[in-house]
Structures are given as structure tokens and as C-alpha cells.
Structure 1
Amino acid sequence: MRRFVAISGVRVGVEGMWMGQTAVAPATVSADHHHGDSETTTYVVSGHPEFVFLADPDPDFAEREAGPEQVRLRTGPGDYVFIPPFVPHREENPDPDEEAVVVIAHSTQEAGVVNLPGLYMFRSGQQ
């Protein structure tokens, strides 16, 4: 995945947001991650990226034998996706030939990414 910064605290001095573009190569999967206390919005410019979340962000899910189910959002050009703060997720581009391009905005000055060992390995309040 290639990220391009358009607007950030460092780049233009903005105080309450970050905005940029990400190109997701064909057959690419991001690491499981969250964006800390940032609200994140994504607009799909081209391609058909998929966003994978936990269906049940219950903080006690580690105590269950079977983890929560995943929700997969299949998107296309013109779609918007909202990701709340601290929500573990990943982006995927399952298309073997077509790159996916998305515009991303965060409600923080920089695009913080906290990589996780898995969607199930995060508990509220931990990084």
C-alpha cells in the first residue's frame, strides 16, 4: 500500500485533521490495525477494496472460546466507509489485476496507525 499525504499538521499546519490518498496494489492485504483516537473516513475513488472489521467489539471477547465474527464491507467507486476510533480493521484488495485507490481523512493531525497481531488481539484501552 502506498500512502500519499495531502493535508497534515506537518505539511500545512492544519490542527484537526489529516487527509491523503492510498493506492492498494492488486491482491494486497494490510496489517490488522486501528487509528487510535482518530475518527477515519474513506472514499473509494477506484477499484473494489474490502474493509474487514469485528462484528462484535465486546471488550470481553478474549474470554470466549470462539472469537467474534468478522464483517466484510465490499466497496466500489463512490462508496464511503466510516471507521470509529480504536476499531481494529484491515483493508484488502482481492482483485488480482486492478489497483484500488481511496482518499482517507482522519480527525487528527497525522495518520496514526497502530498495527495489531490480529483483529482479535486488541482490547479496549490497549495499544
Structure 2
Amino acid sequence: MSGEKNEGEAPWKFDGVRVIKGDQLDANTAQTPGMLRQAAVNHARVGAQKIWAGTVRIDANAKTGVHHHGSLESVIFVIRGKARMRWGERLEFVAEAGPGDFIYVPPYVPHQEINADPAEPLECVLVRSDNEAVVVNITDVDPVEKPEEVYWVDPIHKHPHEHGS
């Protein structure tokens, strides 16, 4: 192949490999208090059909509420800090991960994400098996480690105390 576009071929120059610079990530994604998610690879940015990838920075001692991500699979790679994951019907299981560790979250698993360090932020790379940000909050499980007040808020999921929805 010469790299030139023939009729019926994909225009590889524009639809081939993409490099997303670390200082060009997009924070226009669903956010949770105490966390900053930034998209690197998604449909809007690069045309990805079956994957979402980006970064997440979790403030010191921050915690999410109990939730799951529907049929999505998630992989978290810890760059810096100390992550604690709680999971199970009653969050009865717990594991911690540090720099260089991977965390796999299967579909429908109730879990809580926690920065286990009271003083330092947790920085991770996050990859999901689809572009849709599926989050199902679970309100009938009392988290062992209570979040301050964490709601999944984006243009579709409004804050519960927001009026006019």
C-alpha cells in the first residue's frame, strides 16, 4: 500500500492513528465532586466507537457514592497515589492499589471508588468499554466509607436538589 487514497479506501491520513497530547484533554465530561475526569479518546474527539479513555484525578480523601456502570467494563491504571475500591452487594469486599497497578471493574458490580490517602491526590488513567457514561447510583446500600455528598452530575443527570427537572 502506498498510503494514497484509492476509491473505497479509508483516508488514513485523517482517519488513522491519532495522538492526543496530555495537555489537550477534554474536561467536558461527566464530573463528580472531588474528582476531575478528562477525556482523551471518545467519539466526539477521535470518532471512537467502542471505547472511552481518559484521566481521573481524585482529591485527597475523596469518595464516590455506591454505583455501577451497567454493562460497561472499566480498567483503572494508577499513576500516582493510593486507590481503595469497595465492592459487593453491601461493599463487603475491599482492595487497594498503588502506582503501576491495574484495577478491573466488571459490568454491574456495585462499587465505591476512594482515594485512600488523606493528604495526596490520586491520579489514574481510566478506560471504559463504551463511549456512553453509564452510571447507576445505588441508594439502598449504606457505604462503609461515607462520601461528603457525591452525585453524578452532567447534562443528562441533574443534581437531585436542582429545580426544574
Tell me if 1:33 matches 2:67: yes
Q: 1:119 to 1:85 in 2, by over 3 A?
A: farther
1:4-19 to structure 2, matched below 5 A, reads 4-19=38-53
Change in CA separation of 1:84 and 1:27 when aligned onto 2, cut-off 3 Å? same
8 A contact 2:91–2:110 mirrored in 1: no
Q: Is 1:49 the equivalent of 2:83?
A: yes
- Judging by fraction of residues, say which structure has more strand: 1
Q: How many residues align?
A: 108
> Partner of 2:163 in structure 1?
none
* Superposition CA RMSD, Å: 1.6
Q: Is 1:114 the counterpart of 2:148 in the alignment?
A: no
Relative to structure 1, the CA distance from residue 117 to residue 69 in structure 2 (aligned partners, 3 Å threshold; closer, same or farther) is: closer
In 2, are the aligned partners of 1:53 and 1:119 still within 8 Å (CA)? no
Query: Letter of the aligned partner of 1:5 in structure 2?
Result: A
Post-superposition shift, 1:17? Answer: 0.3
Larger relative contact order, structure 1 or 2 (CA cutoff 8 Å, min sep 6): 1
Query: Structure 1 pair 44/118, CA: closer, same or farther in 2 (3 Å)?
Result: farther
2:8 equivalent in structure 1: none
**1:110 to partner: Cα distance:** 2.9
Distance of 1:52 and 1:69 partners within structure 2: 5
The residue identity in structure 1 corresponding to 2:81 is G
C-alpha displacement at 1:113, in angstroms?
Answer: 1.9
Give the structure-1-normalised TM-score: 0.78
Task: After TM superposition, give the deviation of residue 52 of structure 1 in Å.
Answer: 0.7
Measured against aligned partners, the alpha-carbon deviations of 1:52-74 in whole angstroms (never above 9, x if no partner) come to: 101xx5xxxxxxxxxx5611111
Structure 2's unaligned 5+ residue stretches are 1-34, 143-165
SS at match of 1:10: helix
| Closer, same or farther: CA 69–110 of 1 in aligned 2, 3 Å | closer
Q: Structure 1 runs of 4+ off > 3 angstroms?
A: none
Pick aligned residue for 1:87 from 101, 109, 120: 109
Separation (CA, whole Å) in 2 of partners of 1:101 and 1:19:
14
- Offset of 1:118 from its aligned partner? 4.7
User: What TM-score results when the alignment is normalised by the length of structure 2?
Assistant: 0.61
Gaps of 5+ in 1: 58-67, 121-127
